[in-house]
């Protein structure tokens, strides 16, 4: 069993690679972004509370996301967890370490997906996802084979995120550099950090991640 954090700025490719690891290795993807979007779609009180914060591209409070992850850690079982978009602050990182320890497990790898900021704007503004199965596409680099139809499940419910605008992306990047990027040093100092080139082709990034996971 492997527990892995995918760390990187908005658009680095965390979700794309997490979905491949789910398909190929039977791991469980825990994406706090997806959980929060599900809460919004369901119209729950939590969804109402986080809607405006997320649309602006700011971070939701630590207690909310730590609570979401704790629930999933108790409920989900599989061949290890992929933490996608969590932790994003030092408080979240400490809470995750405590939760994993309490569950009798720990972290096996933290992979930083390094991408330059200019590429992120192109990736984020060209992204669309399947509202049914969550498959991730891009106008230029990974379009659906048939326009308007999901390759994976055939759904025509293809969506763009409200925070995938240039303005919201500027806030998301600022949040990343102020609050999340210190985690790179934190995990490096713990001896857990590996770095992959997130600018490479999607398959090459998957290969680099597999090399980290299979290195022992």
Residues involved in catalysis: 14, 88, 127, 161, 172
Can you tell me which of 3, 7, 8, 135 binds ligand AP5, judged by CB under 6 A? 8
Angle ∠(194,195,196) on CA atoms, nearest 5: 125
Q: How far is the CB of 202 from ligand AP5 (least distance, A)?
A: 4
Report the residue number, 54 or 193, with the smaller CB distance to ligand AP5.
54
Q: In terms of CB distance, is 200 or 210 closer to ligand AP5?
A: 200
Rg of the chain, C-alpha, whole Å: 16
The pair of structure tokens assigned to 33 is: 């972004």
Query: Residues 3, 57, 95, 208: which binds ligand AP5 (CB under 6 A)?
Result: 57
* Stretch touching ligand AP5 by CB under 6 A, among 20-28, 94-102, 134-142, 181-189: 134-142
Of 118 and 216, the one with the shorter C-beta distance to ligand AP5 is 118
Please, which residues bridge with residue 115 across strands? Answer: none
**How many CB atoms within 10 Å of residue 161?**
15
Binders of ligand AP5 in range 93-122 (CB under 6 A) = none
Nearer to ligand AP5, 25 or 160 (CB): 160
User: To the nearest whole angstrom, how small is the minimum distance from the Cβ of residue 216 to ligand AP5?
Assistant: 25
Should residue 134 be labelled a site residue for ligand AP5 when binding is judged by CB under 6 A?
Answer: no
Least distance from C-beta 103 to ligand AP5, angstroms? 19
Neighbours of 137 (CB within 10 A): 18
List all residues 6 or more positions away from 105 whose beta carbon is below 8 Å from its beta carbon.
1, 3
Contact positions toward ligand AP5, by CB under 6 A?
Answer: 8, 10-16, 32-33, 36, 53-54, 57-60, 65, 85-86, 88, 92, 123-124, 126-127, 136-138, 141-142, 163, 172, 200-202, 205
């Amino acid at each position: 069993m492997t527990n892995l954090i995918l760390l990187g700025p908005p658009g680095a490719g965390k979700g794309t690679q997490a979905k491949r690891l789910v398909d190929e290795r039977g791991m469980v993807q825990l994406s706090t972004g997806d959980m929060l979007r599900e809460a919004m779609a369901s119209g729950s009180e939590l969804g109402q509370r986080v809607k405006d914060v997320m649309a602006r591209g700011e971070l939701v409070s630590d207690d909310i996301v730590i609570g979401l992850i704790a629930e999933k850690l108790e409920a989900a079982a599989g061949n290890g967890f992929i933490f996608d978009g969590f932790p994003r602050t030092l408080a979240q990182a400490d809470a995750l370490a405590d939760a994993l320890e309490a569950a009798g497990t720990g972290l096996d790898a933290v992979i930083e997906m390094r991408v330059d900021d200019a590429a992120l704007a192109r990736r984020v503004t060209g992204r669309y996802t399947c509202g049914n199965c969550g498959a991730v596409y891009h106008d230029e680099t990974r379009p659906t084979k048939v326009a308007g139809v999901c390759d994976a499940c055939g759904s025509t419910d293809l969506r763009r995120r409200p925070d995938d605008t240039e303005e919201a992306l500027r806030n998301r990047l600022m949040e990343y550099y102020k609050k999340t990027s210190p985690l790179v040093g934190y995990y490096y100092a713990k001896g857990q950090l590996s770095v992959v080139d997130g600018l490479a082709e999607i398959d090459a990034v998957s290969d680099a991640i597999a090399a980290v996971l299979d290195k022992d």
